[in-house]
Amino acid sequence: MLDSVWAGFGMFPHALAAGLIIGLACSVLGIFVILKRVVFIGITLSEVAALGIALSMLLQLPPLLGAAVLTLLVVLLLAMPLEPERLPRNALMGIVFVAASALAVLVVAGSGVGLREVKTLLYGDLILTTSNDMFLMAAVLLPVLAVFLLFLRPITYTFLDREAAKVLGINVMVWEMLYFCCLGLAVSAASKAAGALLVFCYLVAPPAAGLLLGRRLPVVMLISAVIAVCGTVAGIGWSLKNDLPANQAVVVALTAFFVVAAVLRGVIKLLRRKHTAG
């Protein structure tokens, strides 16, 4: 069994490498998506990136260009100050999400391509990742992750306690915008291969598991990254062995790791209560 899985990895090395790069970047960035309580922004930006890719196909432009430009424009839109009592930010994200989802299908349908291209656009396919795709994703995602980690301290202060950060003289608007630009670039680079569903899963499932099991931010980031790597390897291996869609197999693997983390969290809490009672 393991021999066949390793043989499959050898046949599709770019798929595994792309999945690992996307998983590492998105799982770490996703921690702040959850802490900021804007989980829906992940799927929204993924759909916007899909629309950007569709427009690029129609205009015969590089897919990453359309995805990055459109995603960053939406990031700027979502960063604008709103009146929360009249229009919650989640409502705006919902409108952008449904509009981008519908427009992506219409643009692809209008371009004359087939149903397979529509499915690939919407759901992605890691197995189809080429060496050029992998290197392009690495050239975007790894620097984005490096910038995020370089400025992790002010970003953390901004997200965990906005008012305290202001008192410390931190320009919260600048660091918040930097984070969301990093997130937008990461999503736009990952969406062509991973698709909206898998990108969203990377942004939510591993970070959620990390937050369940860790208390300190470095530990949470490490757990999130490890789960993203393990889920990617397990999912792609499962898909190659059983001839299943790779992206959906990785999603199931990642959510299974989250369930394990939730159960482990419950067991730890139960043991602590017994220890305290004893």
pLDDT tens readout for residues 186-196: 988 888 788 88
Q: Which two tokens stand for residue 162?
A: 């906005």
- 8 pLDDT above the threshold of 60: no
pLDDT of residue 6: 60
Where do the domains of the chain lie? Answer: 2-277
pLDDT at 143: 94
Q: Of all residues in the chain, what percent carry a pLDDT higher than 90?
A: 27
Q: How confident is the model at residue 75 (pLDDT cuts 50, 70, 90)?
A: confident
In order of 48, 95, 126, 199, 257, the CA distances from 239 in angstroms are: 27, 34, 11, 18, 17
Percent of the chain with pLDDT strictly greater than 70: 87
pLDDT value, residue 197: 84
Least confident of 44-53, 107-116, 191-200, 216-225: 107-116
Band of the pLDDT at 1, cuts 50, 70, 90? very low
Least-confidence region, from 42-46, 114-118, 198-202: 114-118
pLDDT at 90 over 60: yes
CB 90 within 8 A of CB 33: no
Q: Which two tokens stand for residue 75?
A: 């990031």
Let me know if domain 2-277 sits in CATH 1.10.3470.10.
yes
136 contacts 189 by C-beta, under 8 angstroms: yes
Q: Rounded to two decimals, what is the model's pTM?
A: 0.86
Task: With CA atoms as reference, report the closest residue to 191 among 230, 238, 140.
Answer: 140
| Rg of the chain in Å (alpha carbons) | 19
- pLDDT in the model for residue 131: 84
Query: What does the alpha-carbon distance between residue 91 and residue 102 come to, in Å, rounded to a whole number?
Result: 17
**How distant, in Å, are the alpha carbons of 124, 203, 223 from that of 193?**
5, 15, 24
